Structure 1
Amino acid sequence: MANHVSRSRLRPLERAIETTLAGLVIYGLIVVLLIAGLLLPPISLGERLLAWDYERVSAQEGKVITLEDGAQLAILPEGVQGRTRIKFSIVPRSDFLEGSVGSDLLAGAENIPPWLVMKSPFYRIQFKGDVPPNRVVLSLPLPGDVNPLRTIDLYSWDGDTWVWLPHVIPPGDATVESNLNFLPASAVVMQTKPLQPSVSADLAPASTVPEQARDTIVEINSQGLYLDADGEIRGDLGALLRPDQSTTYIVIPTLRNWEEGGVVRSDLIDNMLIDPAARERHIQRIVELVVRNAYPGVDIDYRGFSPELKEDFSLFIHQLADALHQNQKLLSVRLEMPVQISAESWNTGIYDWTSIGMAADIVKIPVPTDMRAYEPGGQMDALLSWAVGEVNRYKIQLLISARSIEQMQDGTRHQIPYVDALAPFSRVNIEGGSTVVNPGQQVTFSLETLQQSTGIQFDPTSGIYWFAYVDPNGQQRTVWIENAASVARKLQYVAEYNLRGVAVQNLLGEDNDAQIWEVMRKFINLVIPPVENQFAVVWTVQDDAGGVIAQEKSDITAPRYAWTAPQQGGQYLIAAAISSDGGNSTAARSSVQVLVATPTPVPTPTPLPTPTPPPKSKPKPKPQRSEQPAPAQAAQAAPPPAQGNLPFDYGIQVDPRGNKAANIAHIQALGFRWVKLQMPWKEVEPEPGNYQWGMWDDVIGAYAGAGIKVLLSIPKAPRWARPPNSDMSVEGPPADPNTLANFLSQVASRYNGRVQAIEVWNEQNLWYEGGGAPMPPDQYVAMLRAAYQAIKAVNPGMIVVSGAPTPAGDVAGKAIDDINYLNAMYAAGLKDVSDAIGAHPSGYNCPVDADWRTVQDPSATSFRGPFDNRHHSWCFRGTMEGYRNVMLANGDGAKTIWPTEFGWAVSGNPHPGYEYARDNTYEEQAQWIVQAYQMAKSWGWVGTMFLWNLDYGVTAAGTELAAFSLLTPSGPVPAYAALANMPK
């Protein structure tokens, strides 16, 4: 009975379950569970359906994917972790460059650096899964039009930037291969172009920089700092070079664990690498060193550590690079010569070249000491063909030396100074042996060692001069002479392989071949002419007072000099020096002293004395009491005197909010060394004492870190500093000049060593920069005086440029004629409160070399100002020469004019007020800008010139600013190439 009741109670439930709606619910739940099971691991059906065209890669077998053109992507099994699917596809080069393959790749096409040319298709690599594989081998076919192969590189677009990939081009194979420990997002074969080379040189402690280096050397590595125990640094910072603001080079100190003539302290570096705390302390000390002393970076030269610490050294370099880069500083690393083990492979010993090259900004690699390496196709070519696949070529500097190489009889080699290399030729020998000769006697001198040697030989295949001789101990020595010819041969490799440049040891502070400097100067513009040395012996005779009484040259193959002793007796010095340029300069001087006998004089009668009257006595004057001198008054401190004669140089203005990396590359490609940035005061100090430095630290740090000098133009007072009832619709000056002076003091102090010049205000003779009316000249000079004193108080070396007026005529309430304005500035004391005079010599549609008083151009139909309403302000020359005349009239001719803006606009649809741009062509713009630089340089009274502008055509496209820009969204205008090719 009980069972019957229980079952009857369940029947309603069974009937409910059997209803249609409930069944649907249950079936629906079943379907959901089935779908979830399919979507979740291990089946992951959704992912498989969405990645239907992705190749599945197993950890057991890996995967090799081959495309129709032969490109291969190999995923090695040991690099696979978890679920992995790969899609390897090809995007035709034309489609990629035209931007027709989707917005995700458009940025890659638009941001190809100007020094790279895309040669292959765009090989795209896409990944789905857990962890990207970390053992990848990529092989791409070489396009048929790549030549020469030594300039080919492999790059990857990662979505933000183009990244260089290590690679190798197997001999005899038409492919380029890359063995990677990560999966790149893409791969492209690029042809590289040369950039303006960088030249650095070492400088010993407490040494001075020779004058020849100032227009040649880009970076000086000051020596004298060393690794110490526990990661500390030792050395005399006071003995390191401190550049002034007029120098054209940057100073980056070198840190070493060895000293000249001393042992390598491998114990110190081993201990530092082993101990994480010591390593971290050392990195901290290096960062403190460069930041506190405003160095652009540091140069690491560590040797001899344990081979077991190879990975630890690479880790140290990566950690140091990260710490320096966070402070916008550079890392340079010196490596040692690798050992060649086959035609295509090298043993790098304790250094992991690829790892170090990925982290460092500059990698300095030594060159072979065997001169046979420099024959075409020799060891040097083999080294560089391999090296540019290990390290990005644009980071590589060849580490060469100005010293010669001497090889001993046992085959060992060592470096010797240039004068020591030539010394065996310059030992003077007196034929006959006697060092005492009679007046009128002919004496013959010769160079004894030269006749016992091979003589100086030239090897045309390596471009190197050499000689061999037997020393007094009977040992044969061979000397390869390092001179202008051999240096030029090494520089050719920089041009042939598109390397960063050279680092020259022993160039500063030693007597080297004087022609090296001329070779280096031309090399800056990638001009490397062949050097033909003309070896000669220069004979010089000096009397005992040091005066030169005779000089003669003889051929080095016949080094003899016949000298006739003079009638006047005494000591004479006969010196011989070797010259490699036909006698213009000499080295390796030696000498011998000769005594010319004095003949015995014939006796003559002694003359009798003539009596003379005794002198009359004179009274002695009485001594007078002298007055005590009044104590001198202590002089009051004054600001440093204004700097004069600041040298000519090349600059350009950029948008501070533009692409820093791209702009730096463009400036370097142009061969320019200065950048102008306008820093509006109101943006940096919107409230009193509330400084917004963030963006400016980043921007200034980037350009300074790249070795580019910075001019800041600082106008536009913030609202709080303006006078009451100011017209805030226009920019204007402060009510109190001291508020600007305080701000500029903060700027000059904060950016000491990173900013080299400040321009105080901008176009103050116009209403929209003067607060609604032109700023009175005396008011401006009062503001400049306060600014000048404040800047110099914290940074005496900072160059202060007076604010440039705009070229204009007198327009009531709107503008003051700029030449009249400049005259009034001088009347108010401009001369004593400026280091350079700012100018904005506009070009309008007036040719660069035209005289504003006579210029004519019937073809100018859009704007007739320069031709129908004559005024100096229409023409570049009119402004520049007008300012120069004002400066001369005010006794300020020793200063230079700094054109902080100049240029010619081009536009087919100009903005109102810029109609003249329609009359100019891009070809005229290119020609006139180049001529302006050349003309100004030849004048001799122009300092740094800043072209307006580089990149506003990109950052402000469509505005009137874009008409002056070298860059446009579609690429550079013709003036860009003209300036890049312009000799500097």
Structure 2
Amino acid sequence: MIRPGPRRGYAGGAVQRSAFSDGRRPSPVRFVVLAVIAIAVIAVGVLIWFFFGRSPGECTDAYCEATASEIDIPSDFDLHSRLFERNPNAEPLPDGFDLQITIPLEVPTMDGRGLSFYGYNAESQIWEPVASAALDEIGERATGIFADPPRFLAVFRRLNEGRQVVAYLAPGDTLHPTAALLATVVHTLDFTPAPDGSLRGQPSPRPPTTALHYPVISASAEIDGTVPSVDNILSTGADRTNHVQQILQRVAAHRLSGIDIAYLDLRADHRTSFTLFISELAEGLHSQGKTLTLTLPAPLKAIDRIDEGAYDWAALGESADLIKIAPVRDQSTYRLHMPEVLDHITSLVDPGKVILTITPYASEKSGDGIRPLTLAEAMTVASKLAIRSESLVAGSDVQIVGVNIDRDEGLSGLRWQAETATVAFTYKLNGGRTVWLENSFSAGFKLEFVSVFNLGGLAVEDSSDNDFLGNIWIAVEPFVASGQPVLQQPSHSHLLPQWKVTAGSLVGGDRGLVTWQTPLEAGSYIVTLTLSDGVERFESRIVLALPPAETEEPEEAP
């Protein structure tokens, strides 16, 4: 607990080199107000105000050191500075201006990973990230820029053995409770690019979590019209620069701490233009103390090389603060190709910047391509029921089959695929299909790559509190706590189909087909098939109406 105590003068405010600064180290009792007047800051530079303590024994600066406040410091944070409190008697911040503050660190560090300014939110009673912490050249001070300065302020490093935990979230969705606790970055999927270079969409409210919030600008073949928009944007230098300015304007207008660019499915001939776009955007964001992260598709493994396509990983790694590898859905080659892909990426980019994305979505591969499915959708396919017997009467044998798991028809049934490290099944539809399920077992084997290649952390494609998705957080939580993945596979018995009926008896069933020896009494009966991916259980039911058995009328005696 930090208890109230006397305030001393706040050692804030190093001056950044600018038209108003000669670059010399400032006085330790100085802080700076940095003008961010709508869009004008992008073009006309920075306006700076100085405030100084007015007497040696009394703090008159905007923030004062406080041995202050009955506020818990979370156990998963390391406090790197003293606690500072907003001075209620300090001169107010002018409208349209942000506050730039530099504070000394208790222990010098050159490791900026996970280091941020946090403010205490009295309403939610949690510490929230309010600005990135930019270290000086010797790691003794951290500087941040604040649109809405909080009452209490400090520099924390989040203690996270698994490094970054990035959570993607659709607008309006609620974070999974475990994601709310573990996430270090939340990406809300808020924006898409328009053909004229502007942005469509509005930023989501910041989720109630200690994580940093960087909205995403998304473009992909799955989002109608967005890839052609990016084609237009990257076609000329003027269009590219206009798009950069549009993004910087929106970041400033919405007072965002950073932005994520997720422009997927680009043509290879955009490689140079996309690299220049990211370089220009990074320069503009970093000059404002903002963060740029990227979501990129994984390079493809060709016969004799790794094909990066439109994405120059080496150059992009120089510009971006973090790069997330988008989910790879084809599990038939994932474990075969991913080691070579990651070896290539980490030879070009600092591994600490590289984030591997895992997904709670199942994948279905067919001759038409690969599509994502929720776990519930996949298990609905697996548990489809049908009646194979021609007659359905009381006192007879009736065959009931799981159509898509019937091993007697050459299907695999639900099984653990060692070569893909997933629970999978095959079924017949338009030439045959394979479905790979994602759950805590498969996620553990993917997280192994984060450890082996010493990556900067993991991302979860959809971090919503959605019961229909695979619960991969069961694997993420111990990985974050220990830095080591849990490598287990489900019990074979848990993957076998389980059958039950309200009356009569059942014979067989392990191979996907069961024989129901029906009762003698007519009526309606329920047959239930239960399937499991090794973690969750799913039921499919069929209601069967049994008519009475036909009996032969006795012949009358002559």
Distance 1:407 1:258, change over 3 A: closer
Do residues 446 (structure 1) and 411 (structure 2) align?
no
**CA-based RMSD:** 3.9
Do residues 535 (structure 1) and 535 (structure 2) align?
no
Q: Residues 291-322 of structure 1: CA distance to partner in whole angstroms, max 9, x if unpaired?
A: 44444321111235554442222222122112
Do residues 271 (structure 1) and 232 (structure 2) align?
yes
Distance 1:585 1:469, change over 3 A: closer
Q: Please, which of 190, 193, 198 is the counterpart of residue 164 of structure 2? A: 198
Q: Distance in 2 between the 1:484 and 1:425 partners?
A: 19
Is the contact between residue 216 and residue 261 of structure 2 (CA under 8 Å) also seen in structure 1? yes
**AA of the residue aligned to 1:528:** P
Which of the two has higher C-alpha Rg? 1
1:366, distance to aligned residue in structure 2 (A): 3.6
Return 5+ residue gaps in structure 2 as ranges. 1-107, 114-135, 140-159, 550-558
Counterpart of 1:230 in structure 2 is 196
Counterpart of 2:448 in structure 1 is 492
Given the two structures, how large is their TM-score scaled by the length of structure 1? 0.36
**AA of the residue aligned to 2:451:** A
Do residues 339 (structure 1) and 296 (structure 2) align?
no
Which has more helix, going by share of residues? Answer: 1
Distance 1:592 1:462, change over 3 A: closer
Q: Residues 326-369 of structure 1: CA distance to partner in whole angstroms, max 9, x if unpaired?
A: 333221112223233466x4221111111111111111124654
Q: Please, which of 287, 296, 306 is the counterpart of residue 248 of structure 2? A: 287
Alignment of 1:51-450 (within 5 A): 195-237=161-203, 240-244=204-208, 247-258=209-220, 260=222, 262-266=224-228, 268-305=229-266, 307-341=268-302, 345-366=305-326, 368-375=328-335, 378-409=336-367, 412-430=369-387, 432=389, 445-450=400-405
Moved more, 382-391 or 319-328: 319-328
1:445, distance to aligned residue in structure 2 (A): 3.6
Is the contact between residue 470 and residue 477 of structure 1 (CA under 8 Å) also seen in structure 2? yes
Distance 1:211 1:112, change over 3 A: closer
Q: Residues 860-900 of structure 1: CA distance to partner in whole angstroms, max 9, x if unpaired?
A: xxxxxxxxxxxxxxxxxxxxxxxxxxxxxxxxxxxxxxxxx
1:486, distance to aligned residue in structure 2 (A): 1.9
Is the contact between residue 538 and residue 554 of structure 1 (CA under 8 Å) also seen in structure 2? no
Is the contact between residue 275 and residue 311 of structure 2 (CA under 8 Å) also seen in structure 1? yes
1:388, distance to aligned residue in structure 2 (A): 0.4
Distance 1:448 1:254, change over 3 A: same
**AA of the residue aligned to 1:432:** S
Identity %: 25
Is the contact between residue 187 and residue 215 of structure 2 (CA under 8 Å) also seen in structure 1? yes
Q: Secondary structure at the match of 2:343?
A: helix
Q: Secondary structure at the match of 1:421?
A: helix
Q: Secondary structure at the match of 1:207?
A: coil
Q: Distance in 1 between the 2:250 and 2:355 partners?
A: 24
Q: Distance in 1 between the 2:463 and 2:519 partners?
A: 40
Q: Secondary structure at the match of 1:524?
A: helix
Distance 1:540 1:347, change over 3 A: same
Is the contact between residue 438 and residue 472 of structure 2 (CA under 8 Å) also seen in structure 1? no
Is the contact between residue 226 and residue 258 of structure 1 (CA under 8 Å) also seen in structure 2? no
Q: Please, which of 417, 420, 423 is the counterpart of residue 459 of structure 1? A: 417
Is the contact between residue 190 and residue 202 of structure 2 (CA under 8 Å) also seen in structure 1? yes
Alignment of 1:564-963 (within 5 A): 573-581=526-534, 585-587=536-538, 589-595=539-545
Is the contact between residue 163 and residue 456 of structure 2 (CA under 8 Å) also seen in structure 1? yes
Q: Secondary structure at the match of 1:520?
A: helix
Counterpart of 1:860 in structure 2 is none
1:112, distance to aligned residue in structure 2 (A): 6.9
Q: Distance in 2 between the 1:380 and 1:459 partners?
A: 17
Distance 1:586 1:281, change over 3 A: same
Q: Residues 880-932 of structure 1: CA distance to partner in whole angstroms, max 9, x if unpaired?
A: xxxxxxxxxxxxxxxxxxxxxxxxxxxxxxxxxxxxxxxxxxxxxxxxxxxxx
Q: Residues 776-830 of structure 1: CA distance to partner in whole angstroms, max 9, x if unpaired?
A: xxxxxxxxxxxxxxxxxxxxxxxxxxxxxxxxxxxxxxxxxxxxxxxxxxxxxxx
Q: Residues 539-566 of structure 1: CA distance to partner in whole angstroms, max 9, x if unpaired?
A: 5779xxxxxx99x999754553758669
Distance 1:597 1:241, change over 3 A: farther
1:392, distance to aligned residue in structure 2 (A): 1.1
Is the contact between residue 572 and residue 593 of structure 1 (CA under 8 Å) also seen in structure 2? yes
Given the two structures, how large is their TM-score scaled by the length of structure 2? 0.60
**AA of the residue aligned to 1:337:** A
Distance 1:559 1:287, change over 3 A: farther
Distance 1:555 1:262, change over 3 A: farther
Is the contact between residue 323 and residue 354 of structure 2 (CA under 8 Å) also seen in structure 1? yes
Q: Distance in 2 between the 1:561 and 1:463 partners?
A: 33
Is the contact between residue 414 and residue 424 of structure 2 (CA under 8 Å) also seen in structure 1? yes
Distance 1:113 1:218, change over 3 A: closer
**AA of the residue aligned to 1:408:** S
Distance 1:256 1:554, change over 3 A: farther
Is the contact between residue 445 and residue 561 of structure 1 (CA under 8 Å) also seen in structure 2? yes
Q: Secondary structure at the match of 1:260?
A: coil
Is the contact between residue 413 and residue 512 of structure 2 (CA under 8 Å) also seen in structure 1? no
Moved more, 476-485 or 314-323: 476-485
Q: Secondary structure at the match of 1:397?
A: strand
Q: Residues 182-231 of structure 1: CA distance to partner in whole angstroms, max 9, x if unpaired?
A: xxxxxxxxxxxx95332223322332333343334333322241101322
Is the contact between residue 364 and residue 503 of structure 1 (CA under 8 Å) also seen in structure 2? yes
Q: Residues 713-742 of structure 1: CA distance to partner in whole angstroms, max 9, x if unpaired?
A: xxxxxxxxxxxxxxxxxxxxxxxxxxxxxx
1:279, distance to aligned residue in structure 2 (A): 3.5
Do residues 560 (structure 1) and 514 (structure 2) align?
yes
Is the contact between residue 554 and residue 561 of structure 1 (CA under 8 Å) also seen in structure 2? yes
Is the contact between residue 539 and residue 561 of structure 1 (CA under 8 Å) also seen in structure 2? no
Is the contact between residue 324 and residue 357 of structure 2 (CA under 8 Å) also seen in structure 1? yes
Distance 1:511 1:598, change over 3 A: farther
Q: Secondary structure at the match of 1:229?
A: coil
**AA of the residue aligned to 1:334:** T
1:503, distance to aligned residue in structure 2 (A): 2.2
Q: Distance in 1 between the 2:364 and 2:175 partners?
A: 27
